[in-house]
Structure 1
């Protein structure tokens, strides 16, 4: 098997070389590293072009957004598997080797993934020690697994190229909030995920220009589409239940964000739409918040939201 790594680039001159080097330095060598420059105005593309390795392919396009950049990389990729890496993140040297092991362990899986760690600052990480043989978890229900803890992120996932090409445009054009989750969940709705239980990539926090989601007060489009697929009857019965439950959990979190913003009427509507979550602990706590005086509820929920990022790299706490 072989891997193509796709890196979308927009104004990350200070970090993109580290990202590319991490992909090239794999103990299981990638077939190619495709950097799609999405109209950068800094010298990041020139720095990539100067990297003396024939496996690096630089493609330039007018600014069209991260989704279009990734879709173009998919269209150009020659590998059997396509891995993803953002220009400000980093991959451990043993990531691809472990992806290959995961494929051997779970050959029916169309998604290979691994854990990750968060790092701060702009320094290049030092590779940390990892076990020679890491356990591989078979994730059959990504919706419920995601709510336990975030198992992987963009820089630690690879998908079978044949599957991605059949889904083109894979990443929803024009979207940059949950556009990656949209792809992972759509593939996982009819394929297990082979998850290596080891931190094998680094997600860089607090980077200027990062596309990581912030707490909004509207439901991201990918969740609306997930609910529509479930209600349309296109999913298995188990996946339908899990998808509706997952969206309901995000509606609860949305209700809390709206409450923190003082949008009490909108919060009540979001909580009402979360009926597929039943009357669980999170639903009941949120209903309790709505019953408190407005200023008290807003302060309480603002404090709770400060600790988590719902739609991207952090789980939803109770």
Structure 2
């Protein structure tokens, strides 16, 4: 049965016709091909649907919907997919040729899997990033997995507590049991269009086991001017907003309230420091209001005061503070 598992690939897209063409070439070049490839055109105005129909029919099906965001587009594709498994790929990302073969392999070893994620590398416009995402995990993150062999492992218990601290799982690296994903409501659209909206769904998936992991980087995640995932300040604020949202809505997360609250504050403090380093004083004051007096460090209280000064004094003072090593802004994302 595992050898005959049917896979549906769902690709949400909005005005990325040029990038989508390369994404589709990688999807269709898999050594273990998908049985179904669905592009959900989320209201594009750049000829996306026409390009796919002209260059990739009948191998690829195009569904057109009114613009509703990537979560709604993924769910629309999920609602019509027919595969036993569903794989998701954003329209600017690239799969290695063996991605689906590896996913079929992990399901053969662990047929009861709910979801599995592969590792990835960053593909930037200027240069490729050699390090992989899983390697950025904090100490202990990968402990307790059951090894399946060949870079494959599985968490047999929920991992939400780990995901609150660090989030290494991206949509383009995900394959899920279709019926299971439908049973939990698909992608969580309640977060709206906050940056990093998939984080809410990863947290939901993390409540369920078995949860599969493929350590080998099999996906290239693009970073370019048209997406937000390369902006650490924006991503930290988006992740903090999502954590705040799901904590208020999901009773299952209440036992982790302290850890989640601390993660929210940490992400906002990091965003605060990055905004200050950019001399984005409007953002500094907005984040300062979110943190409150008790959420800031002593240095951040001084920075907030400087941000309120009129230009050019605020800029000069900020530059002077940043020349001191102890005031320099951090630039690493919370994950």
Q: Does 1:252 align with 2:240?
A: no
Question: Equivalent of 1:202, from 205, 212, 220?
Answer: 220
Question: Equivalent of 1:164, from 171, 181, 206?
Answer: 181
Q: Does 1:117 align with 2:118?
A: no
Aligned mates of 1:197, 1:49 — CA distance in 2: 35
Partner-residue secondary structure (3-state), 1:51: helix
* Matched residue, 1:4: 8
Q: Kindly tell me: are residues 222 and 47 of structure 1, through their superposed partners in 2, closer, same or farther at Cα, counting changes over 3 Å?
A: same
Alignment of 1:1-318 (within 5 A): 1-121=5-125, 133-138=150-155, 140-146=157-163, 150-168=167-185, 170-172=187-189, 174-206=192-224, 208-212=225-229, 214=231, 215-216=233-234, 220-228=240-248, 232=251, 234=252, 241-242=255-256, 244-258=258-272, 260=276, 261-263=283-285, 265-266=288-289, 268-269=291-292, 272=295, 287-290=297-300, 294-295=305-306, 299=322, 304-305=329-330, 307-310=331-334, 315=335
Q: Which has the higher helix share?
A: 2
- 1:218: how far off? 7.1
Aligned mates of 1:63, 1:302 — CA distance in 2: 43
Q: Tell me the C-alpha RMSD between the 2 structures.
A: 3.3
- 1:194: how far off? 0.5
Aligned mates of 2:301, 2:66 — CA distance in 1: 50
Alignment length (residue pairs): 283
- 1:82: how far off? 1.2
Q: Which runs of 5+ in 1 are unaligned?
A: 125-131, 273-285
- 1:106: how far off? 3.2
- 1:90: how far off? 0.7
**Where does structure 1 differ by over 6 angstroms across 4 or more consecutive aligned residues?**
none
Residue pair 2:160, 2:207 contacting (<8 A) in 1 also: no
- 1:51: how far off? 2.9
Cα deviation, 1:185-207, whole Å, max 9, x if unaligned, reads: 1021122320001000010012x
Higher CA-based Rg: 2
Q: Which runs of 5+ in 2 are unaligned?
A: 129-148, 277-282, 307-316
- 1:50: how far off? 1.9
Q: Kindly tell me: are residues 251 and 93 of structure 1, through their superposed partners in 2, closer, same or farther at Cα, counting changes over 3 Å?
A: same
Cα deviation, 1:223-260, whole Å, max 9, x if unaligned, reads: 12332356x3x35xxxx545641442232121332353
Residue pair 1:111, 1:188 contacting (<8 A) in 2 also: no
Q: Kindly tell me: are residues 222 and 265 of structure 1, through their superposed partners in 2, closer, same or farther at Cα, counting changes over 3 Å?
A: closer
- 1:142: how far off? 3.4
Aligned mates of 2:161, 2:168 — CA distance in 1: 11
Q: TM-score, normalised by structure 2?
A: 0.72
Q: Kindly tell me: are residues 76 and 258 of structure 1, through their superposed partners in 2, closer, same or farther at Cα, counting changes over 3 Å?
A: same
